[in-house]
Amino acid sequence: MEECHTLVFDKGIENGEFSGVRYDLQEYLEKYPDAKFEIITDTYNMTTTVMEGYIYRYGQEAVAGIISLWTLGEVIADF
């Protein structure tokens, strides 16, 4: 989990200024336990999976996010 991180931006994916915060994956899961992550784009290479999309939280406007996972084995997605 040390090599996995999440970028949470202050608004959706659009042109213009934005800001964001980088969390390690465990911090993100603790800070946003109720969040839903909608994957818009995902890429895979030998050891890294990167998912870009929207983060939804009840009662709040959706914001953009990027989750980067470093792996040594198979990635199994459960939908």
Residue 39's pLDDT is what? 92
Residue type at 55 in one-letter notation: I
Q: What is the C-alpha to C-alpha distance for residues 75 and 12, in angstroms, rounded to an integer?
A: 27
Q: Cβ neighbours of residue 38 under 8 Å, at least 6 residues apart?
A: 53, 54, 55, 56, 62
Task: State residue 15's pLDDT score.
Answer: 75
pLDDT of residue 22: 93
Q: Which residue has the tokens 């931006």?
A: 9
What does the pLDDT look like over 2-61, one tens digit per residue?
A: 578 999 998 877 777 888 999 998 899 899 999 999 999 999 888 888 999 999 999 898
